[in-house]
A and B are shown apart, each in its own frame.
Chain A
């Protein structure tokens, strides 16, 4: 089965610190996309960052960056200079099947940024 696994149910850091959320996945596809979504208490799912598997360069969006290790099927999210507004559930997701819009989500990591 195609799966996405997040092994950290909860994490907590101090404001301005750097935090890394882990994600591993399983797929037999060669080309696919990987996403990190954020779901704050409002429950609105917000796209944080996207990585295309055929691109070797790690994606970066302001304070958010990924460490994509294709051979290891690992896709971690690094948040630099964390802010109180980063407090949320973070989900790693992938269509797993090339071209499909059927996202498979990890179980999520609850991240709390403390003042």
Chain B
């Protein structure tokens, strides 16, 4: 079974731009979660989608948004990029509540 895939793997953007990251979960998994990883803040939860509905949300500004499609693929969008948004963005999928999450390889976003 194919693992979680994320595209693109690397991205360089300029302050003020917006960016969209994509995540395809493991086949059969309906829950997709997003995390931001930085050296200073560690791993922080952004949001989780299940059956196209946002079920949980972390403590991030409204510039961070996401959605999930009927095939469980998910996208996250960051608008008006700031230097502090430079991070590794990890997507994880699972089959349901309480189940272990399987992570993709991440998207490395650099904001200049």
Contacts and interface: CB of A to CB of B under 8 A. Distances in A.
The finding on whether chains A and B are genuine partners in a shared complex, rather than unrelated, reads yes
Interface of A: 32-33, 35, 37, 42-47, 50, 91, 93, 95, 98-108
Contacts of A104: 45
B25 interface: no
Contacts of A45: 90, 92, 103, 106
B27 interface: no
Contacts of B106: 43-45
A100 B98 CA distance: 6
A47 B101 CA distance: 8
B100 A100 contact: no
A103 B101 contact: yes
B100 A33 contact: yes
Interface of B: 31, 33, 35, 42-43, 45, 48, 50, 55-56, 58, 88, 90, 92, 94, 97-98, 100-103, 105-106, 108
Contacts of B31: 101
Contact of A99 (B58, B98, B100, B108): B98
A43 B104 CA distance: 10
A101 B33 contact: yes
B89 to A, nearest CB: 11
Contacts of A93: 43
Nearest to A107: B42
B33 A103 contact: yes
Contacts of A47: 100-103
Most buried by A among B43, B92, B105: B43
Contact of B105 (A43, A95, A101, A102): A43
A100 B56 contact: yes
A95 to B, nearest CB: 7
